[in-house]
Amino acid sequence: MLSFYLSILETEEERDRFEQLYRMFKQDMYKVAYGILKNKEDAEDVVHQSFISIADNFKKVNEIPCQEIESYVVVISKNHARNLYKKNKRTAKRRAEVDINTIADEADMFERYDYDQLVKTISELPEIYKDVIFLYYLENFTTKEIADMLDITVQAVWKRLERAKKLLKENLERDDDYAKQ
């Protein structure tokens, strides 16, 4: 991973200095991130994002006095960890807000189909429905985030999800009827 960060930097002097920072503070940054997130993979992601931020702004970072650099890199890591924590919290809240009955009904509806059949039927949906299903159910983006990505309203995202599920159900049932003949 270090070679990736070094490729962002322009001069050999910057690369040497960055490598020194990387070796000195990688563990401290991980400990801070893990302390906030309590998840190994998320903490590793935070350290990675932090080092990308440092590499992207290395000219400014390099101007920081030596006695302040540790505080600086730890604060970057802490901020990235807090942001991810907030995002994870929003995602968990959104999941908790979903009506339990709806989840149970959907699970019951799709439970009788095998994975390959579901994937095939989803792939046959129109693009606008495939996109929202993928982003919402597989990538766990919020409806607000999806709306921003697709440049549509949150209500439009909910409507597309509703229509996609309806169409998916119809297509699966149609395939079942066809298979029975």
What's the pLDDT at 77?
94
Average pLDDT over residues 18-22: 90
pLDDT in tens, 120-168: 888 888 988 988 888 887 778 888 889 888 889 989 999 999 999 889 8
158, 164, 153, 154: which is closest to 128 by C-alpha? 164
Q: Which residues, 6 or more positions from 158, have their beta carbon under 8 angstroms from its beta carbon?
A: 143
59 lies in which domain range?
2-96
| Domain shared by 18 and 58, yes or no | yes
What's the pLDDT at 104?
47
For residues 157 and 147, is the Cβ–Cβ distance under 8 A? yes
pLDDT in tens, 65-122: 888 888 889 899 999 999 999 888 877 666 555 544 454 455 556 666 777 777 788 8
Domain-terminating residue out of 32, 61, 96: 96
95, 56, 90: which is closest to 76 by C-alpha? 56
Average pLDDT over residues 58-63: 83
CA distance 25 to 109: 50
The count of C-alpha atoms lying within 13 angstroms of the C-alpha of 62, restricted to the half-sphere facing its C-beta, is: 16
| Domain shared by 91 and 106, yes or no | no
Domain-terminating residue out of 96, 120, 138: 96
| Domain shared by 104 and 57, yes or no | no
Domain at 168, CATH number: 1.10.10.10
Domain at 15, CATH number: 1.10.1740
What's the pLDDT at 94?
63
Q: Phi-psi bin for 64: left (phi > 0), alpha (psi -120 to 50), beta?
A: beta
pLDDT in tens, 36-60: 999 999 999 999 999 999 988 888 8
Q: Taking the model in full, what pTM does it have? A: 0.53
| Domain shared by 92 and 103, yes or no | no
What's the pLDDT at 35?
94
| Domain shared by 19 and 36, yes or no | yes
| Domain shared by 65 and 105, yes or no | no
Whether 28 shows a pLDDT value over 90: the answer reads yes
